[in-house]
Amino acid sequence: MTSSERPGPGSLEGIRVIDLTRVISGPFCTQMLGDHGAEVIKIESPASGDVLRSQGNVVNGFSWYFAQFNRNKRSLTLDLRSEEGKAILDRLLGEADVLVENFRPGVLAKMGLDDETLRGRYPRLVVGRINGFGSSGPYSDRPAYDFIAQAMSGFMGVNGPADAEPMRAAPPISDMVASQNLAFGLCAALVRRERSGCGDIVETSLTNGLIAMMGYLAAEFFATDRVPARTGNDHPMLYPYGLFKARDGKVAIAPSNDTMVERLLGALDRRDLLADERFADNASRMANRDALRACLTEVIETRRVDEWIEHLNRAGVPCGRVYSLRETFEDPQVQAQQMKIDLDQGDLGRVPVTGFPVKLREAPAGVHHPAPQLGEHSREILRELGVEEEEITAMHARGVI
């Protein structure tokens, strides 16, 4: 799939989003909206725009990092500290369905757009915001960053090997999760607005999003009052589960229940182990992990990873190879699912980015726009607002756009 194939309208066709966000957490969210057909106007500072434009690998003056988070948006430069800039934003909001921001709490209010003003002036507008810790509470005005959210959510405390320090996840998962949460919350508010006519203010935070991801580990902590330990690749509640040594590498095997454990032992030709009282049920297997691991490894190390993956999958046992990102994007399933797509960036050529994880049959996601150059659509968007050509030129000369 490339951006030169014109996609049909997405689910959010007709929804206009004013996007004041930068870096990752907001832009990933508004990109999700744009992927599904919303019209997203990304507002950037005239001087240098989103800081992501100068981060990561910049090829021919264009950051592929920026492209990864900003397809399906048009770019309007606007100096939001100027009165003229604020007046343009006001006109845009008057015609918009959604406003998204990821400033620190209070920054938007200082620009004159506190919650009361937003609700009063644009009653149909759905306002979305992402911040570090939520906009109330003792840390609401602390600066935030993914690493800190990972540390304070309890995620790092359970991530990593037992004998190493608490470990962050490499992708900025708190930013990504917050983006998904906000995209959901915005759409939920839009569903209500379609019925009631009323907008809303939707908020999520990096830290709250990750806390909600702690799921069953939180449940275990609440039930036992014992803090879950870091267990590396071992599952704290299930065995067998983990990476096993095959002849030429490791294979990930994860039977999730007794039936699948039976299938695994059958596929390994070691169904006899089920008669061993040390391995009769999950609790026994957890207590005798090392012994069972030895029995399983003895068999598994006799064959190659690819042989096991084929054999075990045929037997209905979840298993797979640990991929590098290169192997992920070379995998035939990942390719069949189009999880790498190319943006047609005109003179800059094709820029690959990750594909659409949410697939709709009747109104599928698509590439409606490649990632924009800074201010690429300023003139076009102002024209659509009814601003005269000379006025646009004058605003440009004054540095407002």
Residues 129-158 that bind a copy of itself (CB under 8 A): 132-134, 136-140, 142-148, 151-158
Please pick, from the candidates 107, 109, 111, 211, the single residue that binds a copy of itself as defined by CB under 8 A: 211
187 sits near a copy of itself (criterion: CB under 8 A) = yes
| CA dihedral over 159, 161, 166, 167, signed as positive or negative | negative
362 sits near a copy of itself (criterion: CB under 8 A) = yes
202 sits near a copy of itself (criterion: CB under 8 A) = yes
**Interface stretch with a copy of itself, choices 87-95, 127-135, 296-304, 372-380 (CB under 8 A):** 127-135
Q: What minimum distance in Å lies between the beta carbon of 393 and a copy of itself?
A: 33
Residues 263-282 touching a copy of itself, rule: CB under 8 A, are: none
Quote the Cα angle for 131-137-142, to 5°.
50
Residues 277-316 touching a copy of itself, rule: CB under 8 A, are: 313, 316
Q: Look at residues 55, 62, 8 and name the one whose alpha carbon lies nearest to residue 35.
A: 8
341 sits near a copy of itself (criterion: CB under 8 A) = no
56 sits near a copy of itself (criterion: CB under 8 A) = yes
Residues 372-401 touching a copy of itself, rule: CB under 8 A, are: none
103 sits near a copy of itself (criterion: CB under 8 A) = no
Q: Look at residues 128, 142, 216 and name the one whose alpha carbon lies nearest to residue 179.
A: 128
**Interface stretch with a copy of itself, choices 126-134, 273-281, 294-302, 382-390 (CB under 8 A):** 126-134
d(CA 31, CA 38) in angstroms, rounded, equals 9
Tell me whether residue 214 or residue 274 sits nearer to a copy of itself (CB atom). Answer: 214
d(CA 92, CA 70) in angstroms, rounded, equals 20
- Report CA-CA distances (Å) from 277 to 235, 262, 273, 283, 289: 21, 14, 8, 11, 13
Q: Helix (H, G, I), strand (E, B), or coil: what is residue 157?
A: helix
Q: What minimum distance in Å lies between the beta carbon of 376 and a copy of itself?
A: 20
Q: Enumerate the active-site residues.
A: 175
Please pick, from the candidates 3, 21, 68, 75, the single residue that binds a copy of itself as defined by CB under 8 A: 68
**Residue 108, CB half-sphere, CA atoms under 13 Å: how many?**
24
203 sits near a copy of itself (criterion: CB under 8 A) = yes
Please pick, from the candidates 190, 267, 305, 395, the single residue that binds a copy of itself as defined by CB under 8 A: 190
231 sits near a copy of itself (criterion: CB under 8 A) = yes
Tell me whether residue 247 or residue 383 sits nearer to a copy of itself (CB atom). Answer: 247
Contacts (Cβ under 8 Å, ≥6 apart) of 96 = 16, 17, 18, 41, 122, 125
Tell me whether residue 261 or residue 392 sits nearer to a copy of itself (CB atom). Answer: 261
Quote the Cα angle for 80-100-395, to 5°.
25
Q: Are 43 and 81 in contact (CB under 8 A)?
A: no
Cβ neighbours, 10 Å, residue 152: 19
End-to-end CA distance of the chain: 34
16 sits near a copy of itself (criterion: CB under 8 A) = no
